[in-house]
Structure 1
């Protein structure tokens, strides 16, 4: 449990650090794009090794494929709804997007922690940490430009960090005793959610900010996550 709480605290801290950067020391756009791409590369490895590959022996391939596609469809529908209602570029829209996207992402983290050592989930936690940093920085900066006072913006993001950490803890505690096939199906559904978020949110934003260095950053993220996975093995 101590390892779980430490990992969740680190992931939640990313939102606080990111919000503080966005409010008081905004990141250069290219560095922000590089970090986003790095996180995306790491997440590719993490969702395969910690979610899909761990689930594959427990369920038939057709169920695995259907669950993954269902997760991707759920994210696409939710993301489209948020952007249509709140606007893709507004600070409030980014906050809601980070929150709604982050709930299944952090539920996935909580599920990945079940029966795993700290090293086995280090890549997934690290990737989510890196992806939360620039998203929180951009959202906090946007809310400041929308006219919100700095103290209120930071308080809102602190509450969001608590909510997402709670989602991860819920995923870890509530699903710890479920049957292996059910847990495997949930893992793959969560993997589909994260995969869709990479395609729609992460890589396009990274390329827009950092252009061709994005390719190098993604590869670096892949290498880093693979290295952590080998250490865990």
Structure 2
């Protein structure tokens, strides 16, 4: 039941965000504020839900190596995606998918033995991140001349792929060694950190440079408070 709820919450962000960007009004400053808030929340989730649990179950050197590998893999794939799709909506869709797959794989792993509030913290942070990014990417696709139905279909496919990643992480890794789960968490953390530096914070600053720093702090406070309750 928890698995189903989490998958619905996380993937619905892409669908709701795409619908928002394609059919609704999206002021740039609101978009930037939400993206910065999501970035602040993800900082907490990366540390408390991914890196710290990983470091408790695997040697620190291995954890740091897996984290750096995740960052490098994301950056290499992100580079090739931007070479092919550019920096528009297609590039943002690909970037969300690239860091979303290890994120959701780690989310499925996090469900193994985690409390509801711990899972809610990570799922909530990913939701906050995916919603405005999907809205911005879908809007750029519309501006680039892609039909609304085709753009929404692409985001729906991405949502299905991320949902499958979470389910695979939860079902197929139930009996995996703790060291393996730890390295998966660390790899996902590296991908998320790289996406923060290359996609999330730069976009937030472009859209709302006046309040981006404040919004980041708001997201951090909200996520840390939720984590502390867990």
TM-score of the two chains, using structure 2 as the length reference: 0.96
Structure 1 gap segments, 5+ residues each? none
Number of the residue aligned with 1:226: 224
C-alpha separation between the residues in 1 aligned to 2:54 and 2:90?
36
C-alpha separation between the residues in 1 aligned to 2:92 and 2:55?
34
1:196-227, Cα deviation, whole Å (9 max, x unpaired): 11111111110111103111111111111111
Number of the residue aligned with 2:37: 38
Contact 1:19 1:154 in 2 (8 A): yes
Aligned residues: 230
C-alpha separation between the residues in 1 aligned to 2:32 and 2:223?
18
Number of the residue aligned with 1:66: 65
Number of the residue aligned with 1:150: 148
C-alpha separation between the residues in 1 aligned to 2:154 and 2:161?
11
C-alpha separation between the residues in 2 aligned to 1:151 and 1:61?
47
C-alpha separation between the residues in 2 aligned to 1:85 and 1:190?
24
Number of the residue aligned with 1:17: 16
C-alpha separation between the residues in 2 aligned to 1:188 and 1:36?
23
C-alpha separation between the residues in 2 aligned to 1:221 and 1:211?
16
C-alpha separation between the residues in 1 aligned to 2:70 and 2:163?
21
Number of the residue aligned with 2:77: 78
Number of the residue aligned with 1:133: 131
Report deviation, 1:176: 1.6
Tell me the secondary structure at the aligned position of residue 20 of structure 2. Answer: helix
C-alpha separation between the residues in 2 aligned to 1:165 and 1:26?
27
Contact 1:42 1:221 in 2 (8 A): yes
TM-score of the two chains, using structure 1 as the length reference: 0.94
1:169-193, Cα deviation, whole Å (9 max, x unpaired): 1111111210111111111111111
Number of the residue aligned with 2:189: 191
1:119-130 maps to which residues of 2 (within 5 A)?
Answer: 119-130=117-128
1:99 corresponds to 2:103: no
Structure 2 gap segments, 5+ residues each? none
